[in-house]
A and B are shown apart, each in its own frame.
Chain A
Amino acid sequence: MGKSKRKVPGINASSTADISFILLIFFLVVTSMNSSLGLDVRLPKPPEDEAEPPKVFKRNNFTVFVNMNNQIMVTLGDKEGEEVEVSDLKDLAKTFITNRDNLDIYPALEKDTIVYVDAANEEHPLPASSFEGRGEIMVAKKHVISLQTDRATQYQLYFDVQAQLYEAYTELRDSLAKARFGKPFDALDENDQMVCRLAYPIMISEAEPRKYEK
């Protein structure tokens, strides 16, 4: 009966602030900010000694060469190479890959049918009659973008070139997504994204860097 009247002494909490300050400082020291952004690429399989490099028709070839003085040269098929700026690369690559006007200097277009794709099993596309994005599309299936560097090329420029080329593909997929599905690429579900990826597969081949004798 008398118990309920007894007052519980309050705990002195004035040092909690100090304790949490110490914890805070500890975490500030041992951790680092998340800086895991980057350009996601897939390298080709290691070269096999016996295997002949696949033959590529000249018109299907788009060569980007970055030299030791960090100049960029673009060669289309057997045309004369010309020096370009990094910022031009994206549009050049897009014109090359799409070949909208069906010109002889750009890669040959082939008819491809968009089918329903199961993202988990990309080897076996399943045709589905209810699939809204299906239909025919003209794509340059056999194009190759060949990227060559010198051993002395600066990494930042190489990165910029890669980023431009990847952005070209990203924009092409995005416009296909908008045309076929009425949504931007990022808003599509996994299967529809795979459809766009298969329509514009990334075909960037990287040759070994050249080492020129001085």
Chain B
Amino acid sequence: MSKFGNKEKAEMPELNTSSLPDLIFSILFFFMIVTSMREEEVKVDVKLPKGSERVLTEIEHKSSVINVYVGVPTKAEDRARYGDRNCIQLNDKISGINEVRDFVNDGRKSMKQVDQARMKVALKVNQHADMGIVTDVKMELRQAGALNVLYSADKLAEKGE
């Protein structure tokens, strides 16, 4: 049984880990490129509507985009305060409809000149929200002169393609 006898003496060869940092660095760079900084904490449940890829466009200039979220608050304390209904979130807080206009105007003022001209409001609305609140928001946007609007949506996984 000499073939199996000297097991304890056999040493495991050491794994060469010198390329590990390079590997991790490339993953790091990948993530730095594909992702963007999270600007605000989303406090409402925004499950975006789904749409066919053919009609969806991608935002080119992220610095000229203002986000408006509509959905039911996710936190229990917010729900207790605002009720179990669809709310509007501007910046980091849940707001009323009358604050939309000032929010858009302030957002526009804080932008660079180039971005002001191509300013776009991304409406991130939950797919189950009702049109009432969406129309109210749109009406405010029209009053604020923010006519370029993007109805944010997710890609629909299309079958048979």
Interface residues of A (CB under 8 A from B): 13-14, 16-17, 19-21, 23-24, 27-28, 30-46, 66, 149-156, 158-160, 162-163, 166-167, 170, 206, 208-209
Contacts and interface: CB of A to CB of B under 8 A. Distances in A.
B131 A38 contact: no
B90 interface: no
The 7 A-B pairs at the shortest CB distance, nearest first, are namely A151-B132, A31-B35, A16-B21, A156-B127, A38-B150, A36-B59, A20-B24
A155 B128 contact: yes
Interface residues of B, number: 56
Interface stretch (B5-13, B105-113, B151-159): B151-159
Interface string B28-50: 10011011111000000000111
A154 B35 contact: no
B37 A31 contact: yes
Given A43-B142, A156-B127, A159-B49, A24 B152 contact: no
Contacts of A32: 35-38
Contacts of A155: 49, 125-131, 134
A30 B58 contact: no
Interface in B70-122: 120, 122
